[in-house]
Amino acid sequence: MNYHVLTLFPEMIEDGMNTSITGRAITKGLLSLHTVNIRDYSVTGNGRIDDYPYGGGAGMVMQAEPVMRAYEDLISRIVSKPRVIYLTPQGQVFRQQMAEEFAKEEDLIFLCGHYEGIDERVLEEIVTDYVSIGDYVLTGGELPAMVMMDAIARMVPGVLSNQESGQTESFQGNLLEYPQYSRPEDWRGKKVPPVLMSGHHGNVDRWRRNQSLLRTLRVRPELLMGAEFDKADRKYLHALLRQETEETVTPEELNFLSKLLAIREKA
Ligand code: ADE
């Protein structure tokens, strides 16, 4: 996977991406990172790349020409014509499934905006994907680009060690991850759930699956609508609904659960 980033802050991208697991993957040659400083393509010669918005209003707009020149120079040096991802709160919300799809590409170009955005005309010319990382507004596209590159990198074969990739089930299968515990067995009076100390793999797996179902119900119930349940899952969810487990379930959670199970029974 070759990442190319059009940005006003290349050092921010490089510092972030050359750290930890993505840094290791770059060193190993599984990922490559190439940043292009849009400021180097200023048309005024003094490094200026922004101007006032037509129609008035607060802030500055990044001009079309420096962005276009940076892009053209970049693609003149690569064989393919990669997808261009523009990071913006006006885009589609980034999800695990999108990370999996983008990971199939050979090259990806990320375009990071600043100020009040980029002149629409150049976006129309070059952008293939408009992506938001969530419903909040950041000061620029660099952090969102790094979020995407990190999530995509995890899906590139070889980037995670076997051990690391075994721990990545959240959102795969639409369920949140179960809780994890490590030594000591008693930490400040809080004990590790006994089933995890039992050595009974079947019971451990069942307990973890139930915890995933419970967590998803509590924190992100809407995800359960897209999850698949086997017989044992349904048995646990019914037990929760009938309040036959030790878990406390709120009236809202019960309400959601009864609707979910009714829909599933019909299907
Ligand atoms: N730029 C500013 N805020 C953003 C967000 N939430 N997602 C993607 N790009 C952004």
Q: Kindly report, residue by residue over 72-120, the tens digit of the pLDDT.
A: 999 999 988 999 999 999 999 999 999 999 999 999 999 999 989 999 9
> Which pLDDT score is estimated for 167?
47
Q: Can you give the pLDDT at residue 225?
A: 95
Res 248: pLDDT:
95
If one counts every other C-beta atom within 10 angstroms of the C-beta of residue 146, the result is 22
Cβ contacts of 63 within 8 Å, gap of 6 or more: 43, 49, 50, 51, 119
| Residues near ligand 1 (Cβ within 6 A) | 87-89, 132-134, 136-138, 141, 144
Please report the pLDDT score of residue 267 as a whole number: 74
Other Cβ atoms closer than 10 A to 254: 15
Q: Using omega within 30 degrees of 0 as the cis cutoff, is the peptide bond preceding 184 cis?
A: yes
Q: Does the predicted TM-score (pTM) go above 0.75?
A: yes
Q: Looking at residue 169, what is its pLDDT?
A: 54
φ and ψ of 135, to 5 deg? -85, 70
CA-to-CA separations, 248 to 14, 182, 216, in angstroms, rounded:
46, 25, 14
Give 96 Cα–ligand 1 centroid separation in angstroms: 17
CA of 204 to the centre of ligand 1 (A): 40
Relative to the CA of 134, which ligand 1 atom is closest? 6
Report the b/e string of 34-50 with b at 16+ CB within 10 A: bbbbbeebbeeeeeebb
| pLDDT tens track, the chain, 267 positions | 999 999 999 999 999 999 999 999 999 999 999 999 999 999 998 999 999 999 999 999 999 999 999 999 999 999 889 999 999 999 999 999 999 999 999 999 999 999 899 999 999 999 999 999 999 999 999 999 999 999 999 999 999 998 777 445 567 789 999 999 999 999 999 999 999 999 999 999 999 999 999 999 999 999 999 999 999 999 999 999 999 999 999 999 999 999 999 999 887
The H-assigned helical ranges of the chain are 10-17, 20-28, 64-76, 96-102, 120-126, 142-153, 162-165, 201-219, 221-224, 231-241, 251-266
CA of 69 to the centre of ligand 1 (A): 23
**Structure-token match 């690391």, residue found:** 164
Write down the number of H helices and E strands in the chain. Answer: 11, 9
Report the separation in Å between the CA atom of 75 and the middle of ligand 1, taken as the mean of its atom positions: 24
Dist. CA 145 → ligand 1 center (Å): 9
Q: Which of 6, 88, 135 to mutate to test the pocket of ligand 1 (most atoms within 8 A of CB)?
A: 88
Alpha-carbon distances of 172 from 100, 177, 231, rounded to whole Å: 10, 9, 19
